[in-house]
Amino acid sequence: MGIKREKVADSYFECSDEERAAFEAGIKLGTIYHQFVGTPISRENVALLEKAIAEGTKIQPFVEDAEVQISRKELKSKKGEFDYVSLSGHMLKVRLVVKYRDVKVTAGMRFIERINYPLMFIEKMERRGRKPR
């Protein structure tokens, strides 16, 4: 994004750099969940989907890294024309790093059995090598 565009975008945020970094991480995780849940997958294409999700996320603003793992427990080889599994939230494990100015947020998403929910969370927040206030 050009400097002018960044300043215009920044003018819409009334928050700290930490809050902005957390917001950006949350947007990316929500996008992954809502864009890809329901995608038909099988043993034959799961690695390609993991890579496509991660690489598509990495080109978004402020994303430094993204890793996606899809549980293979429920995957099977296609046995007929109408045989496939749809990706669901409990199959996703995501970790991403977002950097906004000098704040770096490591965020994740994974299914938490105890609450029966694909939880999105902030794993770590740093400001130039130290934890923010």
The 10s digit of each residue's pLDDT in 35-90 is 999 999 988 889 999 999 999 999 999 999 999 999 998 887 667 777 788 999 99
Whole-prediction pTM value?
0.87
Which pLDDT score, from 0 to 100, does residue 75 have? Answer: 83
Average pLDDT over residues 9-20: 95
Buried b (16+ CB within 10 A) or exposed e, 104-133: bbbbbbbbeeeeeebebebeebbeeeeebe
Q: What angle do CA 65, 67, 91 make, to 5 degrees?
A: 150
**Domains of the chain, start order:** 36-127 (3.30.1300.20)
